[in-house]
Amino acid sequence: MSFKTRNFVSLFIAWTGLISIISGIILYLAPAGRVAFWVDWHFWGLTKKQWEAVHTVSSFFLMIFIVWHLILNWKVFVNYMKDKAKKISFTVPELSSSILIAIVLTVMSIYSIPPVSYIMDFGEYLTQSWETKTASPIIPHAERLTLKEFCAKINLPVERAIKRLSAYNVKNVSADKTLEEIAKENNLAPKHISDILNFPKQFNKTAPVSAEENSAAISNEKSEQSAGRMRYRQNGNHPSNFRGLMYIGKMTLKEFCEKTGIDITKAKSLLKSRGFGEVDENTVLRDIARKNGLIPIELGEMIYSLKEKKPE
């Protein structure tokens, strides 16, 4: 069977045209790049960057094959512009009307003239609808910043940030890696990394806590636990079932495990695997948490997850 070039070119134009249309519609509906990269937006398993690549490549080859198609069918194309005298003439209604409409649409697009401008306005509306307080990056293109640069901008010691991420089981953390790189290696969105690092300012301190600060922390622990529980839930975890225990930050690790029925050995092993090192069971949870960039409720949730695991 002989290969028919005309048929191949026509069919290729059809398929690449379809791909270009579909990818164009998806990009029209997609969030702005700063939001898409921040929340790791996907559609049909592809990121916005991948959809942009699909659209660009398909459009590029569509252009090439359209030119090829014109070359193969040049005589037919020229005949569309000829009058009854078989001469090219702008009086041919199909030629003049097609050129006029193309020019009008181009001018209306350039100067945002309705109703053509409504297409761009609706696209802008769709783009802005993705931008909420929770979806928008707290710093423009924050995912491109290294962890060290990001921490400097939010006034957080990078060493504490690394400990905190380790406590949340985020692997391969380095001060010189970007948030995007850290997130990608852990199958997370850059926003998730930012959410983990976003916690009460009083826990950013690296200096020893004074008696006055400690007293204030105890009096505010109930509200901090509530905030911690909400943040922990947003990070894909579940609220605890130890609501009867008040002010867990004042409890030692041993006391907390006894009151919740958790094996102290397993708890210490879990904390060690999360980068806490060797933990003294007689140390209060507040000190363990503070040392590792957490608040007591988050540490409690982490340990309590052992109790919620189903036996294998």
CB 179 within 8 A of CB 194: yes
CA angle (232, 234, 238) in 5-degree steps: 55
DSSP-derived secondary structure for 2-71? ---HHHHHHHHHHHHHHHHHHHHHHHHHSPPHHHHHHTT-EETTEEHHHHHHHHHHHHHHHHHHHHHHHH
Write the pLDDT tens digit of every residue in 128-173: 787 765 567 777 788 889 999 988 888 888 888 888 888 888 988 9
Of 58-72, 101-115, 226-240, the one with minimum mean pLDDT is 226-240
The structural domains of the chain, with segments of one domain joined by +, span 5-129, 142-198, 203-308
pLDDT for 202:
37
- Segment 84-96 shows an average pLDDT of 79
**82 bridge partner residues:** 88
This prediction's pTM: 0.62
Mean pLDDT of 277-294: 85
**Whole-angstrom distance, CA of residue 173 vs CA of residue 181:** 9
pLDDT in tens, 225-250: 444 444 444 444 444 556 566 778 88
- The pLDDT score that the predictor gives to residue 223 is 45
